[in-house]
């Protein structure tokens, strides 16, 4: 087996991630496949992590780096909670993730995180960044992973502003399922969180098993 080049290493395990905003809510969704190039290793892999009740992060890219980065973020968030006695705002958390990635810029984590949260006045916040922490903010949706090109197309076609939570779930699920079918490195079902000011709904999607 050939050694992956730096560009290929982001797609070594395959991934699909999308976050989308609705009316005072947001959805974040991922596929469930963990592979080594074209060989599937696991079909229940977790890519989305809950930081607190109103803040989630999805990490695409190299799975080992994603897990290491998540552990560092949990550690830093717990320190923040102890010092400040409150949860971190999504914007603050995005800056923390960006700083952690940028300090490793000469030997980066091969990850592309997607951050989604509810800020003050229940306003949804979503953003993504590259492996060295350059943020990209959006008011509609953000995507990441090996299926990101087809996710852009599906989300662009299906998104509309101010969706209610149930419609948002349907939209993000359809976009995810349509996109992973066009990418052989991601898929095998989906994992969707829909977050409102009062509740978090987690759902598992069944998809093509090939």
Give the global pTM. Answer: 0.93
Q: What is the DSSP string of 50-83?
A: EEETTEEEEEEE-HHHHHHHHHHHHHHHHHHHHH
Assigned domain for 149 exists: yes
CATH number at residue 138: 3.60.20.10
Assigned domain for 162 exists: yes
Tokens of 199: 């509740």
Assigned domain for 136 exists: yes
How many Cα atoms are found within 13 Å in the side-chain-facing hemisphere of 185? 21
Given a cut of 90, whether residue 32 has pLDDT beyond it is yes
Using CA atoms in the order 156, 162, 166, 172, what is the torsion angle rounded to 10 degrees? 20
Assigned domain for 20 exists: yes
Domain holding 174, by residue range, is 6-205
pLDDT for position 46: 95
Assigned domain for 210 exists: no
Assigned domain for 89 exists: yes
Overall domain count for the chain: 1
Q: What is the pLDDT of residues 72-119, one digit of tens each?
A: 999 999 999 999 999 999 999 999 999 999 999 999 999 999 999 999
Q: What is the pLDDT of residues 155-210, one digit of tens each?
A: 999 999 999 999 999 999 999 999 999 999 999 999 999 999 999 999 999 988 87
Assigned domain for 182 exists: yes
Cα(19)–Cα(41) distance, integer angstroms: 25
């Amino acid at each position: 087996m050939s050694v992956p080049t730096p560009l290929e290493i982001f797609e070594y395990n395959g991934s699909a991630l999308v976050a989308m905003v609705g009316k005072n809510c947001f959805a974040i969704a991922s596929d469930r496949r963990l592979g080594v190039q074209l060989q599937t290793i696991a079909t229940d892999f977790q890519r989305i992590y809950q930081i607190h009740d109103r803040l989630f992060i999805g990490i695409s890219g190299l799975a080992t780096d994603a897990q290491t980065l998540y552990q560092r973020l949990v550690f830093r968030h717990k320190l923040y909670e102890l010092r400040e006695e409150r949860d971190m705002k999504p914007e603050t958390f995005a800056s923390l993730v960006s700083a952690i990635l940028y300090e490793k810029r000469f030997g980066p984590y091969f990850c592309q995180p997607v951050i989604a949260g509810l800020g003050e006045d229940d306003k949804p916040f979503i953003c993504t960044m590259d492996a060295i922490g350059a943020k990209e903010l959006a008011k509609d949706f953000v995507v990441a992973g090996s299926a990101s090109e087809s996710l852009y197309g599906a989300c662009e076609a299906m998104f509309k502003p101010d969706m209610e939570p149930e419609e948002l779930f349907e939209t993000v699920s359809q976009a995810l399922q349509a996109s992973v079918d066009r990418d052989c490195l991601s898929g095998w079902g989906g994992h969707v969180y829909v977050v409102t000011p009062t509740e978090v709904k987690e759902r598992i999607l069944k998809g093509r098993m090939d």
